[in-house]
Structure 1
Amino acid sequence: MSIFPVALAAVAGTAASLGTDPLTMADLLRVANAPGFDRWQEQVRRTGGCSDPIHLSGMTTTRDAKTGQVLYSYSTEGEPGGRLRVACGNRRASRCPSCAWTYAGDTFHLIRAGLTGDPRKGTPRAVRTHPKVFATLTAPSFGPVHNRPPQGVCRCGTAHPENSPELGSALNPGSYDYAGAVLWNNHAGDLWRRFTIYLRREIAQRAGLSQTALKDVARVSFGKVAEFQKRGAVHFHAIVRLDGPGGPDDLPPAWASTGLLSDAIQAAAARVCVPVPAAGGQPARELRWGTQVDVRPIGTDDGQELNEQAVASYVAKYATKAAETTGTVDRRIGELQELDKLTDFPAHARRLIEACFDLDETYPDRKLWQWAHMLGFRGHFSTKSRRYSTTLGALRQVRADFRARQECQERGLPDPDEAPEGSTLVLAHWTYAGHGHTPGESWLAANIHRDIHQGRETARDALTELHDEHEGEW
């Protein structure tokens, strides 16, 4: 629904039916009746309904560089509370659904460009014919856990429903290797780095080339995302593609195929090992990938299970999630006592977090306590090789340039793409003035985000259909 003061007054007596407590409802009415509410609503709408906007105070003035004439000036003195609100940009859906939605959209276009090609994003259409697969690399077992096997009955003798809170927790916590689990998460980035090295070696071997010679005829490109399993272990989903030596602009050699690529991935994953020396009573370990390595070709037909659209959507979905999907928190933990304040905190996740704190002194260089909220994982959730496709920074810049042109048009300023360089001078001063919303503002922002999101979904579906109809022409 659209949010207006009169509508808020009408629902003041139905706070319970809205799931809104009286204090929030009282603050909601305060915000709606405060001076400048329309402008506040406009600011929040421009952030997409951001859950935790950054507040800025300051001013900006645009002058003609030759004459010194003021072309435009702006100050936050006239804004609600004397502040300008801008989006926080957090990628986590648990922290800000609005900014996470934008991040997921950018990730979708980044991944899809590397699958289908998109000249506007620096990737030729021909890349669609290059050999590419969707690979999943998992963690090994650290002990049996409650699960939903194909036969339907877990080893505990129970057929767990899909959303059962027991899923992923240890069948026998006393024998589960919690230390090994968090150390594996902590070294997962090292495992991936070594995997990419071994993968190139395996491809060269199958092509009958040296590693040096491989660089002259082929290049491996990838885009990947990390996902937490219910048991709290990270695994990686990756699009792996074979290109010519120049990247997506070059055709791959004749010997390159999805079959060769799949075999090389399986062999490389089996070879990777990261040794962890014995220390502080902990045994020496050899960290490896799990035996479940899934590699499937990516098709171009929408009727296939793994088509380009489905893969891009899948990767984008997990780019905004982290360890909080296992029931843990999404913020850094200063001390274990903080967990005592949380109700219904999963015992399995707590043991993993405790293991991070216990092992911190044993392996001080790994900074395990700092990553306890991530169950030890310290890597990036979404990464890509240099030549896979465009970058998130480039996508954000396109959006920023578009908004800049819109604002220049609204203010009667020269178009930045047409005006001579140096024709205008911008003087600005900004300071941080806080962040976030009051309870009533949070309720309003969430509804604004919902309205915007539903409208975007409808528009995106229409644009996708139009794009598919005219793909050869665009």
Structure 2
Amino acid sequence: MLDRAARLRQLSEVDQDLINLVQGPRFGRWMEQVAATGGCAHPIHLTGATTTRDGGTGEILHHYSTAGEPGERLLIRCRNRRVTVCAPCSRLHAGDTFHLVRAGLVGGKSVPADVRERPRLFLTLTAPSFGPVHRATEDGERCRPRRHVDRCEHGRSPGCPATHEATDHLVGQPLCSGCYDYPAHVLWHAHAGRLWKAFTDNLYHHLAARTGHTRSGLRRTVRISYAKVAEYQRRAAVHVHAVVRLDGADGPGTPPPAWATAEVLATVVRTAAAAVRLHSPYSPALGEHELRWGAQLDARPLRAFGGHEGLADDAVAAYVAKYVTKGAADSSVGLDHPITGPTDITTARLSAHLRTLMGACWRLGGLPELEPLRLRAWAHTLGYRGHILTKSRAYSTTYGALRSERADHERSAPDYADEPDAITDARWRYVGSGHTPGAALIAAGIAEDLAQNREISREEINRSAVD
């Protein structure tokens, strides 16, 4: 008969870890912590204590310490938005995004309900072409049919007679990587935030010109509020989806003037986007690139409750929320983590197109004149250095407010924030992150159970609504 130590040696690392966890004296409490994080795949480990005292008497009102916790540490969510890094936290982030965007469309979360009657559009702004790429086709249509056209200087045909399904790995890849303007692609990404700022400034200018106002006079009458999300296309170029709303001068609490309609806004966004022209920093190696939005622009009205034209509010909020969680599993996004050198690029499991874009970021990032763009620091996102979702201040609530509201709802300890004499002393220290192999398996099971429970609850709610 083998003793316990010998049997453990015969088990896999995961099995051994699972046995040690389950047989541990604080396994139940550890499970509570993992469940409280929603099965987070890479929880943050903290150690420390929080003590709240009455400032007048010195009486201890509340005390919490990790000394009694498993491993003397507390697990909290990593809060990573990328589904490829942490699926449970990405679902939570997507939910917060849905409520943030929806509040700016229909009200709630401190936003008045009558914003649903304001002029609102759902915009899509694209990047310009940096060179022809393979495209998905339908009904037997060919990718890029060309006849009797000379080959490019690299010996490649400028056309493609094949048909490509949307899942074809060639979709989005350049027809000729030598002809593709990789530096322009990278520099456009690096200036995407400035391009959006120039577009919103133009919106005010063009609205003023169209309605006969001065620029300063218009800003005293109308306020443009927005929430936008950046999405990588199959060609690995960012395009922007945005909800744009016209308010009165004081924001969502005041209506805009009668002349401010969705039709006027739809006309102006096109001229405002077409007028944007920026220039990259001059480089002796590259010259100067003119930066602009692509010719493809889509502007659709949003449908208020009871309306029949345009996109539905909830559908738009769900659409935006879906894109904030995309990670490196998507073939056009890049990597989830920053790179430290060219070797990280050559060894990454990416398409040749993405590796070339990252290589261009690394190479251009070494030029002194382009150093302010920090291209090497953002090579993993192909030079794009903005947040995936941004909004104007007056659009709706914030992620911080949503998280605070959720924390208050989930709080098990008493809250003394409103006690004027309460003094809180908190001392916390980071001691690690992630799970052991066995713990990761248990956490994944908890996350799956929670996801299934949410889906069952959603189906029950939908069924009740129908009945």
Tell me the TM-score normalized by structure 2. 0.88
Residue of structure 1 in register with 2:447 after alignment: 449
State whether structure 2 residue 114 is matched by structure 1 residue 126: yes
Q: Give the superposition deviation at 1:462.
A: 5.4
The CA deviation string for residues 25-63 of structure 1, in whole angstroms up to 9 with x for no partner, is 443333233332211111011011111111111223334
User: Quick one: which of 352, 365, 376 aligns to 1:347?
Assistant: 352
State whether structure 2 residue 408 is matched by structure 1 residue 401: yes
Q: Give the superposition deviation at 1:456.
A: 2.5
CA contact (8 A) 2:327 2:333 kept: no
CA contact (8 A) 2:138 2:165 kept: no
* CA RMSD, Structure 1 to Structure 2 (Å): 2.4
Q: Give the superposition deviation at 1:324.
A: 5.6
Indicate how the Cα distance of structure 1 residues 28 and 346 shifts in structure 2: closer, same or farther if over 3 A, else same: farther
Identity of aligned residues (%): 45
Indicate how the Cα distance of structure 1 residues 280 and 324 shifts in structure 2: closer, same or farther if over 3 A, else same: farther
1:82, 1:33 → 2: CA distance?
17
State whether structure 2 residue 365 is matched by structure 1 residue 360: yes
Pairing 1:70-219 to 2, within 5 Å after superposition: 70-118=60-108, 121-150=109-138, 152-155=141-144, 156-219=160-223
Q: Aligned partner of 2:36: which letter? A: R
Q: Give the superposition deviation at 1:426.
A: 3.0
Indicate how the Cα distance of structure 1 residues 196 and 370 shifts in structure 2: closer, same or farther if over 3 A, else same: same
Indicate how the Cα distance of structure 1 residues 457 and 82 shifts in structure 2: closer, same or farther if over 3 A, else same: same
Residue of structure 1 in register with 2:318 after alignment: 313
Q: Aligned partner of 2:191: which letter? A: H
SS in 1 for 2:224: strand
Q: Which runs of 5+ in 2 are unaligned?
A: 1-10, 145-159
Q: Aligned partner of 2:242: which letter? A: A
2:17, 2:284 → 1: CA distance?
53
Indicate how the Cα distance of structure 1 residues 266 and 337 shifts in structure 2: closer, same or farther if over 3 A, else same: same
Residue of structure 1 in register with 2:154 after alignment: none
State whether structure 2 residue 335 is matched by structure 1 residue 329: yes
Question: Higher helix fraction: Structure 1 or Structure 2?
Answer: 1
Indicate how the Cα distance of structure 1 residues 324 and 287 shifts in structure 2: closer, same or farther if over 3 A, else same: farther
2:262, 2:239 → 1: CA distance?
22
Q: Give the superposition deviation at 1:465.
A: 8.2
CA contact (8 A) 2:107 2:114 kept: yes
Q: Aligned partner of 1:455: which letter? A: N
User: Quick one: which of 412, 426, 429 aligns to 1:428?
Assistant: 426
Residue of structure 2 in register with 1:231 after alignment: 235
Q: Which runs of 5+ in 1 are unaligned?
A: 1-20, 409-414, 470-474
1:368, 1:346 → 2: CA distance?
20
1:324, 1:280 → 2: CA distance?
37
2:193, 2:328 → 1: CA distance?
15
State whether structure 2 residue 245 is matched by structure 1 residue 241: yes
Count, aligned residues: 437
Q: Give the superposition deviation at 1:327.
A: 5.7
1:196, 1:375 → 2: CA distance?
24
Tell me the TM-score normalized by structure 1. 0.86
Q: Give the superposition deviation at 1:430.
A: 1.5
SS in 1 for 2:96: helix
Q: Aligned partner of 2:142: which letter? A: V
CA contact (8 A) 1:146 1:171 kept: yes
Residue of structure 2 in register with 1:286 after alignment: 290
1:150, 1:266 → 2: CA distance?
28
Query: Which region of structure 1 is more displaced relative to structure 2, 356-365 or 145-154?
Result: 145-154
SS in 2 for 1:81: helix
2:303, 2:329 → 1: CA distance?
32
